[in-house]
Amino acid sequence: MKLDSKIPEGRLEDKWSNYQLKSRLINPANKKKLNVIVVGAGLAGSGAAATLAELGYDVQCFCYQDSARRAHSVAAQGGMNAAKNYQHDGDSVFRMFYDALKGGDFRSREANTYRLAELSAPLIDHYVQQGVPFAREYGGVLINRSFGGVQVERTFYARGQTGQQLVLAAYSQLYKMVRAKKVKMMVRHEMLDLVLIDGKAKGIIARDLVTGQIKRFAADAVVLATGGYSRVFRLSTLAIGCNGSAIWKAHKRGAYFAAPSFTQIHPTALPQTSDSQSKLTLMSESLRNDGRIWVPKDKNDTRNGNDIPEEERDYYLERRYPSFGNLAPRDISSRAAKERIDAGHGVGNLKNAVYLDFKHAIERFGRDVIEDRYGNLFSMYKKITGIDAYKEPMKISPAAHFSMGGLWVDYELMTTIPGLYAIGECNYADHGANRLGANSLLQASIDGYFILPNTINNYLEDALKQDHPGVDHPEFDKVEKEVKSQIEKIMAVKGSRTVDDFHRELGKVMWQECAMSRNKQGLERAIVQIKQIHAEFWKEVRVTGTDNEMNSELEKALRLADFIELSLLMCTDALQRDESCGAHFREEYQTEEGEAVRNDEDFAYVSAWEYNAGDFILHKEKLEFEYVQPSVRSYK
Amino acid sequence: MFFKKSIMAGTGLFLSIFLIVHLSANCLLLLPESMARELYNAYSTILRESIVITIVAYLLYLSIILHVVYAAIVTYKNYKASPDRYMMNHTNETSSWSSQNMGLLGVFILLFIVIHMANFWARIKLGLGDGVGFDAAGNLDVYEVTYSLFQNIYFVVFYSIMMIPLGLHLNHALKSAFKTLGFYHKKGLRVLAKISLVYAVVIAVGFGIIPLIVYLK
Amino acid sequence: MKVTFKIWRQDSPKSKGVLKSYETDGISEDMSFLEALDHLNEILVAKNEKVVAFEYDCREGICGQCGLFINGRAHGPHEHTTACQLHMRSFKDGDTIVVEPWRAAAFPIIKDLVVDRSAFDRIIEKGGYISAKTGTAPEANAMLIPKEIADASMDVAACIGCGACVATCKNASAALFTSAKINHLNKLPQGKPEQHRRVLDMTAQMEAEGFGSCTLTGACEVECPAGISIASIAEMNNRYVRAKLLG
């Protein structure tokens, strides 16, 4: 199948308006006859479900949590970018577009990334109107702050809880439409498979997580808004329930998976302290404004951080990147930390962390100033570690964070399966090989509120004229049977190892070979190991309880089974990309100083993988750059 | 819920004001005996004969009844809202004992009011029990009723001790009544908490100490 | 360290629950409370027993999904802390820890430590939003909102919807939760057009769900992970009175 990105005609700045002018419309009376399923109720899902319902469609919205307000978009702390140029500092839509494209190391479509920047300004208007209490000046206007990778102040924020406040706005709009009886909210329901009829997405099979019942849901289109899959590493900044099952099932039913190996590793999370740890908590990137990162020069130094004299410390970011120093971009900082840790200079019990030291900042500005800037982060650090970071350096460590990769989508956010859309983090669209800070809330929101509700008409207009097959269609029987048999199969293994045990094993392999830096041998080794884990999993996993009750072990097992398969594709993708770009760093492709070497000649494409009975077929969507010439990212 | 709580807050505040008036009258008992008897009896005669005070008195009875009835209803509904109790409960660490036991304290206070009214109201207003004489000025000798009651150490102890639940109840009640009625100014609430405490202490100590002083007179 | 958990086990909403004792070894001080329960569940799987059902998601104190009554306190012994941010270093080797679900008539138990908090969603449904369709918003800076008002709104908007306020309240009152959402929106100019309707509808739903009434004990503000003050409840009462009179 040829990949058609459906980029509209016209100049870059006219493409989206041209698209809207030409797209088809459906009259309100007819919209009532159409039914859309939205899977996921985070920023993208809630926004899409609420807006589609406002437009008149009947919507069924699903989430695995007990309420739509829990979706992991809540965890974003820093803020959301928008090209409002309120600060009069030379910002513009084009500059924002350029920053995102360059930040992504020129591995995304110009038209998509431009639209991201273009729709950012109306999105701020929209959220303000919905009651998001963004930070304000005394005079009542909105405040901005700066964020990594850019030179202007364009980030809007609501204390350290921007994500949560945006989710609450979206969730409240969703429930407004529940009250209007236009959205049916299905909480504690997890999508387990996609149903295609004549090659088109026409419904899903979901499991009721309370009763264990397998249920069918039919619709005229299906929208996936299921977030990122970095839990494949087990230890990540994601919520424990985050998973890749919905997109993986869609992939197996025919949706191409784009750039699965592009995973952002965040440099400032709290380190792992033991094997039983479940989660790595993110500390805001803003700490790097005043904190200095270092490791002991001596590998075997077991002294406390404070006892190590200046001359025996290696401030490696300042040493390697003198002009950006501690504020080097996320991917570069993470890799530099990994390099030091791998060389044996890590600190902490497991020697897996580096110091983030505020001693100098406190000496220079005084404790009060530091407390004013980061007080909440320091108290959170103390809550989790029990350590007072005003007195001792923090220990931080890189952690898996964001999935740039996801289902391949065209300009309309439709996957390669007609009628199946992917929005928010679960698609691959705007961020290229590395996402800039404060762009993820933005992308999820505009996908859900602004883009999808415009583009989906184009497809539904046709669907209107066709049959609306119900859940009694034989395809539903068939898929439901497959889902049930997978559950039976997993319950029947009755092996000797827990799901978490397998997840830890998989996570270690993926973290070692397919995270911050990769190489051919490592990836090939990982593929062998993952296949072994796969085989072992289906022989030795043990799920207790039954499948017709609330059973967290079964939920985890089903998700892990998909993660194992997905991790194979991630390694396969990383292996084929013989270059270093953005978050994807192949050790074979670096300069003598250890900097990434991108290869635009051979790899200026989006890899889009087709599933073929356990194997993967690569398709390439060539990226054309008409308005921006790809340049080398240098932070020296 | 808001209606019921507002009734409780409103009647409670009304009763709280009454307590101040009542306490200031009681202070007359602290004067030297002849003066106390004369003023106290004169005062109570004025009260009995005033139409305004009669209306206020009926409002008081009504307030007590409403306060008790709605307390019973709210308590029952609250019980229904959390019928299953925790096996281990340390919520006493998060809020004061009295705030968690306003109902219990209220029962003590109600018990006290019944006995108090039997001691005074029933004798003076209804003429039940021993008759009440007149003083030199021809006023009903209410002072004598009080004085003789507080010659009995059991009554003195009862009256004094029962002021403890009253004080605890009032301390939580006064500040809460304002919040229930919608006063939410943060600084104001902090001041209010202090006023509540002072008020509760003054009322409880004031009412509690007078019988003792009368006994020792 | 070794810890004995006494955990409420209840198979289904209708069945009778009971506290069961589980001894565990190999708990480390750095584990979060939920990781200690993960650890217990792995032990149970090894013994071929059903795992303890409990709720969690973000494990960083913001999603509000975890909710456990630990040793007689909502979210455990610390103030303003969620169960996922409670760590085992707060307990001693050899401790017995009692873990129960939130108990309130409006939060029926689903299984073990999992309760149904959908009553909160239904309260939001009755007006916890601003009726503004996508695409209808005016320019953001066209509406000036003084910093004091934006900050005060943010103070209450911080509610994570965990239900600790209900769990710790002797009356199982949802006043703190409901007031937080009402005040968040009613303080802002965007929320004014619907302010009276919002207060009346949301409080009516709160009562219909079977939550108790607020007697202002103040326990909720001590446990609230977002540190919301009970002044918020007083403010809701104020808005209610105004809505009754003016609305």
Q: How many CB atoms lie within 10 A of CB C217?
A: 26
Task: Out of A13-22, A288-297, A493-502, pick the least confident.
Answer: A288-297
Task: Please state whether beta strands C3-9 and C96-100 pair in parallel, antiparallel, or not at all (unpaired).
Answer: parallel
Interface predicted TM-score of the whole assembly (ipTM), two decimals: 0.97
Which chains pack against B, by 3+ Cβ pairs within 8 A?
Answer: C
Structure tokens belonging to residue C120: 């909160």
Please report the residues numbered 55 through 74 in chain C whose beta carbons come closer than 8 angstroms to any beta carbon of chain B: 69, 71-73
- CATH number for A267-398: choose from 3.90.700.10, 3.40.50.300, 3.40.50.720, 1.10.600.10: 3.90.700.10
The answer to whether residues C67 and C96 touch, using CB atoms and an 8 Å cutoff, is no
Residues in C closer than 8 angstroms to A278, CB to CB, are: 32, 34-35, 38, 59
**Closest listed residue to residue A63, CA positions, set C185, C119, C63, C52:** C63
pLDDT in tens, chain B (217 residues): 788 999 999 999 999 999 999 999 999 999 998 899 999 999 999 999 999 999 999 999 999 999 999 999 999 999 999 888 899 999 889 999 999 999 999 999 999 999 999 999 999 888 888 888 899 888 999 999 999 999 999 999 999 999 999 999 999 999 999 999 999 999 999 999 999 999 999 999 999 999 999 999 7
Residues in A closer than 8 angstroms to C191, CB to CB, are: 131
Contact C231 B189 (CB under 8 A): yes
A197: which residues sit within 8 A by CB, 6+ positions away? A203, A469, A473, A475
- Orientation of helix C231-246 relative to helix B2-26, angle to 10°: 110
**Closest listed residue to residue C114, CA positions, set C62, C26, C59, C51:** C51
Q: How many CB atoms lie within 10 A of CB B137?
A: 11
State the pLDDT confidence band at A327, using cuts at 50, 70 and 90.
confident
φ, ψ of residue B91 in degrees (nearest 5): -70, -10
Closest CB to C237: pick one of B77, B81, B181.
B181
Is the pLDDT reported for residue A633 higher than 80?
A: no
Q: Which CATH class is domain A474-622?
A: mainly alpha
Q: What is the residue extent of each domain of chain A? A: 267-398, 474-622
Tokens 């109902």 -> residue: B103
Contact A545 C62 (CB under 8 A): no
**A126 at C interface, C-beta within 8 A:** yes
DSSP sequence for A258-290: E-TT-EEEEEEEPPP-STT-----B--GGGGGT
Residue B93, domain member (yes or no): no
Residues in C closer than 8 angstroms to A280, CB to CB, are: none
Based on the residue annotation, tell me whether A69 is a catalytic residue of this protein: no
Closest CB to A553: pick one of C51, C61, C128.
C51
Chain C's closest residue to A75, CA to CA, is: C62
Residues in C closer than 8 angstroms to A453, CB to CB, are: 134
**Closest listed residue to residue C200, CA positions, set C245, C160, C161:** C245
Exposed, middle or buried: residue A437 (CB in 10 Å: 0-12, 13-18, 19+)? buried
CA separation for the pair A566, A564 (Å, rounded):
5
Residue B36, domain member (yes or no): yes
**A128 at C interface, C-beta within 8 A:** yes
Residues in C closer than 8 angstroms to A502, CB to CB, are: none
CA separation for the pair A333, A350 (Å, rounded):
20
Residues in A closer than 8 angstroms to C32, CB to CB, are: 278-279, 384
Contact C50 A75 (CB under 8 A): no
State the pLDDT confidence band at A150, using cuts at 50, 70 and 90.
confident
The answer to whether residues A435 and A103 touch, using CB atoms and an 8 Å cutoff, is yes
CA separation for the pair C44, C120 (Å, rounded):
33
Among the listed residues A207, A253, A330, A633, the single catalytic one is A330
**Closest listed residue to residue A376, CA positions, set A70, A71, A78, A74:** A78
Residues in C closer than 8 angstroms to B82, CB to CB, are: 103-105, 169-172, 212
Chain A's closest residue to C152, CA to CA, is: A133
**Closest listed residue to residue C42, CA positions, set A543, A487, A547:** A543
Chain C's closest residue to A281, CA to CA, is: C60
Residue B162, domain member (yes or no): yes
CA distance B50 to chain C (A): 35
Averaged confidence pLDDT in chain A: 95
Edge-first strand listing for the sheet containing A200-208: A189-197, A200-208, A214-218
**A353 at C interface, C-beta within 8 A:** no
Average pLDDT over every residue of A481-491? 98
CA distance A364 to chain C (A): 30
Residue B44, domain member (yes or no): yes
Residue B84, domain member (yes or no): no
Edge-first strand listing for the sheet containing A35-39: A183-186, A58-62, A35-39, A221-224, A420-422
Q: What is the pLDDT of residues A73-124, one digit of tens each?
A: 999 988 899 999 999 999 999 999 999 999 899 999 999 999 999 999 999 9
For chains C and B, having 3+ Cβ pairs within 8 Å is answered: yes
Residue B86, domain member (yes or no): no
State the DSSP H helix or E strand holding residue A544, giving kind and residue range, or none if neither. Answer: none
φ, ψ of residue B88 in degrees (nearest 5): -125, 125
Write out the residue range of the structural domain in which residue B149 sits: 2-79+100-216
Chain B's closest residue to C223, CA to CA, is: B94
Residue B85, domain member (yes or no): no
Specify the pLDDT at position A349.
Answer: 87
CA separation for the pair A541, A521 (Å, rounded):
29
CA separation for the pair A572, A251 (Å, rounded):
15
Beta strands, E only, A179-291: 183-186, 189-197, 200-208, 214-218, 221-224, 257-258, 263-269
Q: Which CATH class is domain C3-111?
A: alpha beta
Q: What is the residue extent of each domain of chain C? A: 3-111, 118-246
Q: What is the pLDDT of residues A205-220, one digit of tens each?
A: 999 999 999 999 999 9
Identity of the amino acid at A613: A
Collapsed DSSP state (helix, strand, coil) of residue A292 = strand
Please report the residues numbered 262 through 281 in chain A whose beta carbons come closer than 8 angstroms to any beta carbon of chain C: 273-274, 276-279, 281
CB hemisphere CA count around C46 (13 angstroms): 9
**Closest listed residue to residue A563, CA positions, set A249, A244, A279, A250:** A244
Which chains pack against C, by 3+ Cβ pairs within 8 A?
Answer: A, B
For chains C and A, having 3+ Cβ pairs within 8 Å is answered: yes
Q: Structurally, how many domains does chain B consist of?
A: 1
CB hemisphere CA count around A21 (13 angstroms): 8
Residues in B closer than 8 angstroms to C223, CB to CB, are: 94
Percent of chain A with pLDDT over 70: 100
Number of CB pairs, chain A paired with chain C, less than 8 A apart: 220
CA separation for the pair A559, A244 (Å, rounded):
7
φ, ψ of residue A48 in degrees (nearest 5): -65, -45
**Closest listed residue to residue B14, CA positions, set B181, B136, B126:** B181
Specify the pLDDT at position A374.
Answer: 83
For chains A and B, having 3+ Cβ pairs within 8 Å is answered: no
The hierarchical CATH code for the domain C118-246 is: 1.10.1060.10
State the pLDDT confidence band at A149, using cuts at 50, 70 and 90.
low
CA separation for the pair C5, C36 (Å, rounded):
10
pLDDT in tens, chain C (247 residues): 999 999 999 999 999 999 999 999 999 998 999 999 999 999 999 999 999 999 999 999 999 999 999 999 999 999 999 999 999 999 999 999 999 999 999 999 999 999 999 999 999 999 999 999 999 999 999 999 999 999 999 999 999 999 999 999 999 999 999 999 999 999 999 999 999 999 999 999 999 999 999 999 999 999 999 999 999 999 999 999 999 998 7
Biggest distance spanned by C-alpha atoms of chain B: 65
Q: What is the pLDDT of residues A500-523, one digit of tens each?
A: 999 999 999 999 999 999 999 999
Q: How many CB atoms lie within 10 A of CB A196?
A: 20
Which chains pack against A, by 3+ Cβ pairs within 8 A?
Answer: C
Is the pLDDT reported for residue A276 higher than 90?
A: no
